[in-house]
């Protein structure tokens, strides 16, 4: 029977160690750094190209999103050299101000060879002879450590962590063999999840390409959306009707906003944001609760479903934004959108093609959900030694 010992991070195998991030950082200078002073990386230094600047939008609270390699602003290489807050492959990046708990790792296949971190980020470069960067990432991005980081908030009005907090964070150090096996298990699950996400993107793009080819503006077969579908608004939930581990998702204007133990609909519907976030168009065909921040589009005939969906996907909702203080789309404005649906025979053929594509997407999405739950269940067990994988 294996022996365990109690440590500040919980019970771990007796042969494992616990170190601070300061103890496992790379021995070179500036291996743990904060971003530059705010005024030295302000908008006046941004250029159209050059060295990308990592900001909060490039990081995530989602463990499976290691790094968002787009949406950058740029500075010149001269300015980047002046700042010196470089980040390269296998560096781990933390949000220091605002959404603390956001963590990313620069992977080997990123678009750029080097980056600069913004004034609201911290960067850790680990000693690879002591620990694998991806192992450190999985530990630091785990729910346990995100909660720890949030608890170490030193800000008053805005959440904040500083270098002292970062350096003092603890990390388990299993044997090298176990670390490698843990990374192999977790990254293999993430690789499968990523492959399924990419398959879904390709399937949707094929359907959208066919739509753009067959259903073009100017086609004589055109009707108003309100003539082809029933438009309604979702229903609000009281605060006590939200359940942390509820059975059904509650959908808001920009995706899931919580869980509940009751559902509003089980139909296949098109939904889009009514207030706040505009332009997010999604299909739902599961038991869900749809909030009152969402408009529901229920086509009168099945054959109109996908032409309506893809029309709304490419529609610029700013053209019907009726909000003054915050974005707003009314049922009336939505009903007046033109839907070009082409020849009836093409409509039927397109419906059959899309049903097949979206059934594959749904199957992949279910697999993604299963694999994500497996990874999230295994992560704390692997990191505590409760589940051993070295032997």
> Residue 252: beta bridge partners?
255
> Residue 275 forms beta bridges with which residues?
328
What's the pLDDT at 83? 94
Instruction: Specify the DSSP element, H or E, that contains 123.
Output: strand 121-124
CB contact at 8 A, 329 and 321? yes
Average pLDDT of the chain, as a whole number: 93
Please compute the mean of the pLDDT values over residues 123-132 and round it to a whole number.
96
Say if CB 177 and CB 390 are below 8 A apart: yes
Q: What is the model's pLDDT at position 233?
A: 96
Question: At 274, is the pLDDT very low, low, confident or very high (cuts 50, 70, 90)?
Answer: very high
Q: In the prediction, which pLDDT does 217 show?
A: 61
Question: What is the percent of the chain with per-residue pLDDT over 70, rounded to a whole number?
Answer: 98
- Contact yes or no for 42/68 (Cβ under 8 A): no
Q: What is the pLDDT of residue 188?
A: 96
Show contacts of 153-160: CB within 8 Å, 24+ apart: 153/100, 155/97, 158/97, 158/98, 159/97, 159/98, 159/99, 159/100, 160/96, 160/97, 160/100
pLDDT in tens, 160-174: 999 999 999 999 999
pLDDT band at 310 (very low <50, low <70, confident <90, very high): very high
For residues 268-280, give the mean pLDDT. Answer: 92
Residue 218 has a pLDDT of 58
Higher per-residue pLDDT: 168 or 244 = 168
Least confident of 36-40, 73-77, 122-126, 266-270: 36-40
In the chain, what are the domains? 17-173 (3.90.220.20), 216-341 (3.90.220.20)
CA distance 158 to 207: 44
Give the model confidence (pLDDT) of 143-157 as tens digits: 999 999 999 998 888
CA nearest neighbour of 121 among 170, 58, 179: 58
At 16, is the secondary structure helix, strand, or coil?
Answer: coil
Residue 321 · residue 278 · CB < 8 Å: yes
- Residue 391 pLDDT > 60: no
């Amino acid at each position: 029977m294996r022996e365990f010992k109690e440590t500040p991070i919980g019970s771990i195998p007796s042969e494992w160690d616990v170190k601070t991030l300061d103890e496992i950082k790379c021995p070179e200078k500036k291996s743990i750094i904060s971003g530059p002073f705010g005024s030295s990386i302000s908008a006046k230094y941004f250029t159209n190209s050059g060295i990308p600047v990592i900001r909060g939008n490039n990081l995530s609270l989602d463990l499976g999103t290691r790094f968002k390699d787009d949406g950058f602003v740029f500075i010149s290489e001269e300015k980047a050299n002046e700042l010196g807050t470089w980040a390269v492959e296998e560096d781990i990046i933390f949000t220091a101000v605002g959404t603390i708990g956001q963590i990313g790792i620069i992977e080997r296949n990123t678009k750029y060879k080097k980056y600069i971190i913004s004034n609201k980020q911290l960067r850790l470069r680990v000693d690879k002879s002591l620990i694998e960067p991806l192992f450190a990432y999985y530990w630091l991005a785990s729910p346990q450590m995100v909660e720890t980081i949030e608890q170490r908030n030193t800000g008053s009005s805005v959440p904040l962590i500083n270098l002292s907090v970062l350096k003092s964070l603890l990390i388990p150090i299993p044997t090298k063999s176990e670390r490698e096996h843990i990374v192999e298990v977790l990254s293999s699950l993430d690789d499968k999840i990523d492959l399924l996400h990419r398959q879904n993107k390709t399937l949707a793009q094929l359907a959208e390409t066919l739509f753009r080819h067959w259903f073009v503006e100017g086609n004589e077969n055109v009707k108003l959306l309100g003539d082809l579908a029933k438009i309604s608004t979702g229903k609000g939930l009281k605060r006590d009707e939200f359940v942390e581990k509820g059975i059904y998702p509650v959908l808001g204007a920009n995706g899931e906003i919580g869980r509940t133990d009751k559902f509003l609909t089980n139909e296949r519907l098109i939904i889009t944001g009514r207030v706040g976030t505009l332009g997010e168009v999604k299909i739902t065909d599961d038991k869900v609760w749809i909030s009152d921040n969402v408009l529901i589009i229920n086509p009168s005939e099945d054959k109109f479903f996908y032409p309506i969906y893809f029309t709304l996907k490419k529609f610029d909702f700013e053209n019907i934004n009726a909000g003054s203080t915050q974005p707003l789309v009314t049922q009336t404005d939505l009903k007046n959108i033109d839907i070009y649906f082409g020849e009836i025979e093409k409509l039927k053929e397109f419906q059959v093609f899309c049903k097949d594509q979206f059934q594959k997407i749904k199957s992949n999405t279910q697999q993604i959900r299963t694999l994500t739950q497996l990874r999230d269940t295994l992560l704390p067990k692997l990191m505590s030694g409760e589940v051993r994988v070295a032997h």
